[in-house]
Amino acid sequence: MEENESSLPNASQQVKKMAYHKVNADQRTQGQYLDSDDLQATALELEWDMEKELEEPGFDHFRLDGAVQHHLGNSQSPDLDLEPIQPSASPKGRFQRLQEDPEYISHYTRQSPKSHRCSFFQILKLFCAALILFIFGIMTGYYAGKKCPSPPASPEPNNPHVYHEILKEIKAENIQQIYRDLLQSPREDDVDAAMKILLQWTSYGLEDVQLQCSKVTKTLHNQDLLYSYAAYSAKGTLEAELVDIQYGTIEDLIRIQSTTNVTKKIALLKLGQSPLLYKLSLLEDIGFGGVLLYVDPCDLPKTTDPADKAFMVSLNNGGDPSTPGYASIDGSYRQHRLNLTTLLVQPISAVLAKKLTSVPENRVQKDKCVPLQMSSSDKKIISLSIQSVTTYKTISNVIGYLKGSVFPDRYVIIGSHHSSLNTYGGQEWASSTAIITAFIQALMLKVKRGWRTDRTIVFCSWGGTSFGNIGSYEWAEDLKRVLQRNVVAYVSLHNPVRGNSTLHPIASPSLQQLAAESQSINCVEKTKCPGSNVSSVQTQGDSDYFINRLGVPAVQFSYEDISTSENSSFLSEALFPVHVTRTEELDPSFKLHENIAKFSGHATLQIANEPVLPFNALDIALQIQNSLRVFLREEVDASQLLAVAARLRDTAELFQSDEMRPANDPRERAPIRVRMLNDVLQGLEKSFLVRQAPPGLYRNILYRLDERTSQFSVLLEALEHCKLHQSNETIQAALSEVLNSISSAQVYFKAGLDVFETTLAGKK
């Protein structure tokens, strides 16, 4: 990685001068931010004794535009201070006092001359000084105007009308044209696609666009990539009995172990129901030596038929395997971790799976699909040989910044990806890239007219996604400390059009309400608007690091095909060849792409521009309680968990009540209160990261495994481990992890609430 912290927007601000002007309660700071220390210093300055000031020598007149310059120094935006913040020196606070005193301007503009006698020379001296200042001002303004563009006469307010003007510029035909341009010329490698994206973003006026490259380990199967393969599989040859374990659930494994010695056997495994890496960890744990993967045709939508197609999977949990946990930059030590499992893993087509299971043709009925399954009496010995080729390739990211005018040190990341494979993954990369590019195009039209978001938007096109989100992991690992402090939210555009029948929004609990609102932006009267069907489930893509390592709230919109099978979750882990992905067949008018762009754009603008972050603390507490209720059905003692969860909900309800009304009410809004509140809201989900989670499962306990499950993933895994190994030790450890997370969140909410209560009490 060539990127470092210095390239990100500087969080420090300086206040150059202060004049005594009337301050509206909901006035924006227009590019300058006062942190708590600065604002208290400003409040103290307003407490000056004006009579004493007027009596000092040299102050014959006190003018309204007279300003005193204060050098406050750089003001880094601090982390949340859990100690009570003291109120301003004024009994009522700066903004409230100025509002309640309608005569304060006349107090400051009233002249108090010491004498009515002025000599001729004094008048002449004043006249000459005024003339010199007048001429100097004209010259300064002239040359400044030549060098710097003048600001807009009347900056546009941040409101839904502005959002609508931006979003209406996103049109299906524009997305389609961008999409076709991206696919027009064949790409030889990852860098070619990244350079094309960089040139597009720059041409639309995005101010700061950077290309970052990193050499990482990739495991390829032969040179032409025409075969099914599993990246980072172990290499070798194994001849053994084939054992059908279906989906590899705990029930499947217990059933198989009761009748078969599975040591060094080869498992026939279906994709679906749970993450592949989690299944492989279970198979490795109980002694299997190899795995054949396939997708059962019964689990696919009727519109999809890849039964005879090869596919690839990645066994990488995230990032460059040779630099685990740290950035893959020049000079980094590279570990020899080319194979990430001891299992020999090989994907196969459904056609080959049918031959191995000896399924007769009459089992596939006209109106009913019969799942593939080997007969219990059928014994097959097969030889499995894996000879992967390990190499280093360059992974490129394209990063563009639109710096915020009020809070430039707060980042809203919106990310798509460009593929590093010509054969697998198809045209999905161009689909997501076209959407984010169309949003940039529409947004920059408004920016060129003088408008700007309050917070910084970071546009990212990631490389190496199909091999384990390598580009996003390496970039985030390199900037981890900065991102921990500054990132507000992540908006994902990972494979946005996978089907054309159902809109499937996924969001963190704190962003579910915003996701539901964003779906209704195109709704008009007499039109049926989509309901609030937002869920918090595990998803694929580059949001992984931000959700699971940084605890950043995330949201994603995508269209999918309806599948009647309950086993269809996690099938997207399989990447099929290019001709299977039918982007223009799925969405010939690109209207679905336009909808995704507008939904995602609306969510991004709301997060980047609203004075108070649109996060909901109470929804987090409700999600926790709902997950625990499901867990209690497993007859596990969770009384302590329920008690802590109840306290969390009570605190969250208070947190969203009238205690923080002054920060939410535009009539009483003050910058210091908004910043305090947003600092608390920004860290809501960080408490819910457990230290470790099994491969493929989220460390963020707020996300469910899929639509079928409601309990915490880590507790679900602990219960399954207990069934498999007949031990309660794992359950107790998992319960402790969840308990500590909920308790930590409750303390965090309470600390934030105490800050507001202390500040309010001081002002009252």
Q: What is the mean pLDDT of residues 375-384?
A: 86
| Range with lowest mean pLDDT among 128-132, 495-499, 515-519, 688-692 | 128-132
Closest to 408 in 3D by CA, of 460, 477, 458, 479? 458
Question: Coil, strand or helix: which one is 157?
Answer: coil
Confidence of residue 246 (pLDDT cuts 50, 70, 90): very high
On whether the CB atoms of residues 50 and 93 are closer than 8 A, the answer is no
Query: Does an H or E element contain 640, and which?
Result: helix 639-655
Looking at residue 8, its pLDDT comes to 32
Nearest alpha-carbon partner for 541 in 467, 486, 433, 458:
467
3 state SS for 59-77: CCCCCCCCCECCCCCCCCC
Using 50, 70 and 90 to split pLDDT, how confident is the model at 64?
Answer: very low
Most confident of 203-207, 412-416, 428-432, 497-501: 412-416
Confidence of residue 102 (pLDDT cuts 50, 70, 90): very low
What pLDDT, on the 0 to 100 scale, is given for residue 146?
Answer: 46
The whole-model pTM stands at 0.77
pLDDT at residue 93, rounded to an integer: 32
**What pLDDT sits at residue 43?**
36
Going by pLDDT thresholds of 50, 70 and 90, the confidence category of residue 9 is very low
Question: Could you give the C-alpha distances from 722 to 71, 482, 629, 632, 761, in angstroms and in order?
Answer: 63, 40, 20, 16, 51
Per-residue tokens: 113: 């001359």
Angle, helices 428-447/190-203, rounded to nearest 10 degrees: 20
Chain center to CA of 253: 36
Greater confidence, 117 or 404?
404
**Residue from 197, 191, 185, 173 nearest 432 by CA:** 197
The pLDDT assigned to 412 comes to 98
Q: How far is CA 589 from CA 175, 177, 593, 594, 635, in A?
A: 10, 11, 9, 9, 52
Residue-wise DSSP of 514-540: HHHHHHTTT--TTSPPP----B-B---
Residue 13 pLDDT: 35
Whether residue 324 is predicted with pLDDT greater than 70 in this model: the reply is yes
CA 549 to chain centre: 11
Residue scoring higher pLDDT (707 or 23): 707
The Cα–Cα gap between 508 and 703 comes to 7
Mean pLDDT is lowest, of 138-147, 242-251, 738-747, for 138-147
Q: For residues 709 and 372, which has the higher predicted lDDT (pLDDT)?
A: 372
Residue 89 has pLDDT above 50, yes or no: no
- The predicted structure's pLDDT at residue 385: 92
Crossing angle between the packed helical segments 172-184 and 428-447, to the nearest 10 degrees: 120
For residues 595-613, average pLDDT: 95
Cα separation, 721 vs 281, in Å, equals 11
In angstroms, the first-to-last Cα distance of the chain is: 52
> Can you name the residues that pair with 399 across neighbouring β-strands?
210, 460
Q: Of 749 and 564, which is predicted with more confidence?
A: 749
For the cut 50, the answer to whether the pLDDT of residue 580 exceeds it is no
Whether the per-residue pLDDT at 727 is higher than 90: the answer is no
Give the pairing type, strands 344-347 and 290-294: parallel
Amino acid 322: pLDDT: 87
> What pLDDT sits at residue 306?
66
- CA 729 from centroid of its chain's CA atoms: 34
Q: Beta partners for 51?
A: none
- Whether the per-residue pLDDT at 279 is higher than 90: the answer is yes
C-alpha–C-alpha distance, residues 525 and 519, integer Å: 15
CA dist., res. 206 & res. 8, Å (int):
15
Alpha-helix residue ranges (DSSP H) falling in 245-365: 250-257, 276-286, 350-357
Choose among 47, 23, 77: nearest CA to 670.
Answer: 23
Number of CB atoms found within 10 A of residue 29's CB? 15
Once rounded to an integer, what is the mean pLDDT over residues 603-625?
92
Dist CA 210 CA 401 (whole Å): 9
CA 348 to each of CA 272, 298, 307, 360, 573: distance values in angstroms, whole numbers, following the listed order: 15, 16, 10, 19, 14
Helix (H) or strand (E) holding 630: helix 617-632
Task: Provide DSSP, 213-274.
Answer: EEEEEEEESTTT--S-EEET---EEEEEEEEE-TT--HHHHHHHHTT---TT-EEEEE-BSB
**Torsion sign (Cα): 100, 103, 109, 115:** negative
602, pLDDT greater than 70 = yes
Cα separation, 280 vs 231, whole angstroms: 14
Tokens of 46: 């307003």
When the pLDDT of each residue in the chain is averaged and rounded to a whole number, the result is 76
pLDDT for 506: 94
What was the pLDDT predicted at 639?
77
Backbone dihedral region of 450: left (phi > 0), alpha (psi from -120 to 50 degrees) or beta? left
Going from the C-alpha of 197 to that of each of 178, 209, 285, 391, 611, the distances in angstroms are: 10, 10, 43, 25, 32
Rounded percentage of the chain residues whose pLDDT exceeds 90: 38
3-class secondary-structure state, position 459: strand
Cα-based torsion angle of the residue sequence 542, 249, 230, 293 in order, rounded to the nearest 10 degrees = -130
Question: Would you say the C-alpha torsion 466, 467, 468, 473 has a positive or negative sign?
Answer: negative
Is 719 a residue whose pLDDT tops 70?
yes
At 31 the three-state DSSP class reads coil
At 127 the pLDDT is 66
| For the chain, counts of helices (H) and of strands (E) | 24, 16
pLDDT digits (tens, 9 = 90+) for 631-653: 766 556 677 888 899 999 998 88
DSSP characters for 495-508?
S-BS-SSEE--EE-
Predicted confidence band of residue 554 (pLDDT cuts 50, 70, 90): very high
At residue 359 the predicted structure's pLDDT band, cuts being 50, 70 and 90, is low
If pLDDT is split at 50, 70 and 90, which confidence band does 299 have? confident
- 344 - beta bridge partners? 290
Of the candidates 285, 402, 276, the residue with the CA atom closest to the CA atom of residue 695 = 276
Compute the average pLDDT of residues 190-194.
83
The CA–CA distances, whole Å, from 26 to 44, 500, 743, 763 equal: 21, 43, 36, 18
* pLDDT at position 610: 92
Question: What pLDDT does 439 receive?
Answer: 97
